[in-house]
Amino acid sequence: MKKELRLMKGNEAVAEAAIRAGADGYFGYPITPQSEILEYLMEANPAKTTGMVVLQAESEVAAINMVYGGAACGKKVMTSSSSPGISLKQEGISYIAGAELPCLIVNVVRGGPGLGTIQPAQSDYFQSVKGGGHGDYHLIVLAPASVQEMADFVDLGFELAFKYRNPVLMLSDGAIGQMMEKVYLSPQKERSTVFPDWATTGKPATRERNIITSLDLDPNGMEMHNHKLQAKYNEIREKEVRYEEFQTEDAEYLLVAYGTSARVSQKAVQLLREQGIKVGLLRPITLFPFPTKRINELAGQVKGILSVEMSAGQMVEDVLLAVNGKVPVKHFGRMGGIVTTPEEVVENLKSKIIGG
C-alpha cells in the first residue's frame, strides 16, 4: 500500500504513527513540549477505529505503571513525556527493564535541570542511555532527526521492543517535536490478536501461570537474571547499531551529533567544506547501542573529533570511550533550551580541534 504524505509536527507524527502501527494503548500526562501527542490521540479517538486505548493518567508515575500493566499483558503500549516527566517515570522504567517488558517511551527533551525550560535541549542523554533508574539495565535508544523519523521510529521501536523484550526510548527534542515537516505515513496495521507466551492474559489449563516480576529475593537468582540481561544488551550492541554518515569518505575532521544537533552539524559540514576544510558527520541513530566501533575506525582516519550536543557534554563521554585516546575529542553545545547554530559549530571546530 502507498504511503500517505502529510505535513505534521513531530509530536503529531508520533501519535498518528502509533495508531497506524496498531498500538493497543497510550498512557500519558501533559507536559510541554510534547502535549500534542496526547491531544492528537484524544482527538483522533482511535478507540472508535482500531480499538486503541488512550488514557490521560493522574501523573507520569501512573502513566508508566499503566504501561507496565499493559506491556505485561503482551500488548503494544507506549507513553510519552518530556524531561521532568521522564525523571518521574524512571522508577517504572527500571521495573519494566527488570521484568523484561516491551514498550515504547518517547522523550521530547526540554532544558533542565529542575523545571528548567520548555525549549529544546539534549541534556537527557545520560538518563536515557546510561540506565536512568536504579540497577544495571539499558534501554534501546533511538534518536530521530526529523519528523519522518519520529513517525518511523514508532514502528521500529515496537519491533525492537518485542524482539528483545526490552523497553525502547525515542529520544527526541523540543525542536523536532514542535517543527512541521512533510512525513510519509505507513498504512494502517491491524492490532495484533496473538500475544507472547509469557504474557499475563489469564491462565488456561494448558499452561503454567505467568508471573511478571522484577523481584528475586535469592541473590544468586538475581545475579543470574542480571547475567541474562547483560547477555541481551551485548546481543543488542552486536546487532542493532544504527548510524548515518555524511561526507566522511575523505574527512580529516569529524563531527558527531544526533537529533537536532546533527541537522545543525550537517549545515556546518557544508559551510566548512565551502572553506576547503574536509569535515564529515557521523549521526548516531541508536544511542544505545552506540556506534562505538565505527567511531573508533573513523578516529584512525581523522585528526580530531568534535561532539556536538545541546548539553554540557554528555554524549562526548561515549565518543571519548570509542576513540580511546587515538585523536583529540572535544565537546561543543549550547544549554538551557538554546539551539546551537551552524556558525558556532564551525567556529568551535576551528578553535577547539583544528587550531587546538
Partner 1 sequence: MVEATGIKEIIKPENLVYKKTKIMTDNTLSYCPGCGHGTAHRILAEVIDEEGLQSQTIGVSPVGCSVLLYNYLDVDIQQAAHGRAPAVATAIKRLLPDKFVFTYQGDGDLAAIGTAETIHACNRGENILIIFINNGIYGMTGGQMAPTTLPGMKSSTSPYGRDVKTMGNPLKMTDIVATLPGTYYVTRQSVHTPANVRKTKKAIRKAVQYQKLDKGTCFIEIVSNCPSGWKMTPVQSNKWMEETMFPYYPLGDLKTPEE
Name the pairing type of β-strands 103-109 and 4-9.
unpaired
Smallest distance from the beta carbon of 229 to partner 1, in angstroms? 17
Query: For partner 1, which stretch binds (CB under 8 A), given 9-17, 22-30, 272-280, 286-294?
Result: 22-30
Which residues, numbered 314-343, are part of the site for partner 1 (CB under 8 A)? none
For residues 213 and 220, which CB has a smaller minimum distance to partner 1 in the complex?
Answer: 213
Instruction: Tell me which residue of 137, 123, 122 sits closest to 90, measured CA to CA.
Output: 137
For residues 90 and 247, which CB has a smaller minimum distance to partner 1 in the complex?
Answer: 90
For residues 115 and 215, which CB has a smaller minimum distance to partner 1 in the complex?
Answer: 215
Name the pairing type of β-strands 140-142 and 286-288.
antiparallel
Instruction: Tell me which residue of 55, 202, 61, 75 sits closest to 133, measured CA to CA.
Output: 61
Query: Radius of gyration of the chain from Cα atoms?
Result: 21
Smallest distance from the beta carbon of 189 to partner 1, in angstroms? 17
**Cβ of 221: how many Cβ atoms within 10 Å?**
11
Q: What is the DSSP string of 271-325?
A: HHHHTT--EEEEEESEEES--HHHHHHHHTT-SEEEEE-SSSSSHHHHHHHHHTT
Rounded-to-integer distance, Cα 57 and Cα 287, Å: 29
Query: For partner 1, which stretch binds (CB under 8 A), given 2-10, 59-67, 134-142, 222-230?
Result: 59-67
For residues 212 and 354, which CB has a smaller minimum distance to partner 1 in the complex?
Answer: 212
Q: What is the DSSP string of 227-261?
A: HHHHHHHHHHHHH---EEEES-TT-SEEEE--HHH
Smallest distance from the beta carbon of 4 to partner 1, in angstroms? 27
For residues 72 and 86, which CB has a smaller minimum distance to partner 1 in the complex?
Answer: 72
Which residues, numbered 67-106, are part of the site for partner 1 (CB under 8 A)? 67-70, 72-73, 75, 77, 91-92, 95, 99
The answer to whether the beta carbons of residues 261 and 308 sit under 8 Å apart is yes
Which residues, numbered 172-231, are part of the site for partner 1 (CB under 8 A)? 200-205, 209-215
For residues 28 and 259, which CB has a smaller minimum distance to partner 1 in the complex?
Answer: 28
Question: What cell does 149 get?
Answer: 523519523
Smallest distance from the beta carbon of 26 to partner 1, in angstroms? 10
For residues 199 and 277, which CB has a smaller minimum distance to partner 1 in the complex?
Answer: 199
Q: Provide the strand spans (E) within 65-166.
A: 77-81, 103-109, 140-142
End-to-end CA distance of the chain: 53
Smallest distance from the beta carbon of 164 to partner 1, in angstroms? 20
- Does 142 contact partner 1 by CB under 8 A? no
Smallest distance from the beta carbon of 95 to partner 1, in angstroms? 5
Of 1, 5, 48, 58, the one binding partner 1 by CB under 8 A: 58
Smallest distance from the beta carbon of 55 to partner 1, in angstroms? 7
For residues 42 and 320, which CB has a smaller minimum distance to partner 1 in the complex?
Answer: 42
**Cβ of 82: how many Cβ atoms within 10 Å?**
29
Residues at the interface with partner 1 (CB under 8 A): 24-25, 27, 53, 55, 57-59, 61-63, 65-70, 72-73, 75, 77, 91-92, 95, 99, 200-205, 209-215
